[in-house]
Amino acid sequence: MFQEAKSEHHSLFYGIPWSQGSLGLLVAATLRIIPCQPYVKLIYQPCFSSKSMVTRLQEESTRAENEFVEAIQFTSTSSVVVGGQFVEQIPKNAAANHLARWYRPWFHTHVEEILNGEAAVRRSKRVGGEAWDENQTVVEYVPVRDYYYRHQRSWFWRMREWVPFGNQWWFR
């Protein structure tokens, strides 16, 4: 039995979570807890080719200020890269978007509406003109709990096929 630190045995430190007990058992861990802010600032960036999506995703993944980065690919030529940062409070000219409320669309639908410039943009702040290009963004502020559970509506990717009317407010 020994105490391991990240700097001492690099491969053991990163290998133990994936070893399924073959390297040994982890019996205790010391974690540094970092308090999070109450909101996440989401920056939606459209991409109109797979190459631009991969490039933008790599850029956003290396930005020091991003705590969260994800991409949603809708077609071979349209996707959205979403960067997220914790913020203490929402600016006075913005409103919180409570994604988890029963009448809200599923997150991937919300992002697709933003990509297509549809109804969800009314809660967001579009920067630039009306026509989308890859240099424009949509920014919105989401409570942390809503952000963490944004993909938790069960079977959200297949639900549209099983229950075509499931994304209507009157059904939820």
Question: Which residue ranges make up each domain of the chain?
Answer: 39-162
- Band (pLDDT 50/70/90 cuts) for residue 119 is very low
Mean pLDDT of 60-73: 95
CB-based contacts of 135, cutoff 8 Å, min separation 6: 128
- Band (pLDDT 50/70/90 cuts) for residue 134 is low
**What average pLDDT does the structure give for the chain?**
80
- Band (pLDDT 50/70/90 cuts) for residue 136 is confident
pLDDT(27) > 60: yes
pLDDT(104) > 70: yes
Highest mean pLDDT among 30-34, 77-81, 132-136: 77-81
Predicted local confidence at residue 102, as pLDDT: 79
Mean pLDDT of 34-46: 92
Mean pLDDT of 60-71: 95
Predicted local confidence at residue 105, as pLDDT: 86
Q: For residues 168 and 106, is the Cβ–Cβ distance under 8 A? A: no
Predicted local confidence at residue 121, as pLDDT: 44
Residue-wise burial string across 72-84, b where 16 or more C-beta atoms lie within 10 A, e elsewhere: beeeeebbbbbbb
Predicted local confidence at residue 158, as pLDDT: 60
pLDDT(11) > 60: yes
User: In the beta sheet, which residues pair with residue 75?
Assistant: 78
CB-based contacts of 75, cutoff 8 Å, min separation 6: none
Cα(98)–Cα(123) distance, integer angstroms = 10
> Which region among 6-15, 80-89, 95-104, 110-119 has the lowest average model confidence (pLDDT)?
6-15
Predicted local confidence at residue 4, as pLDDT: 63
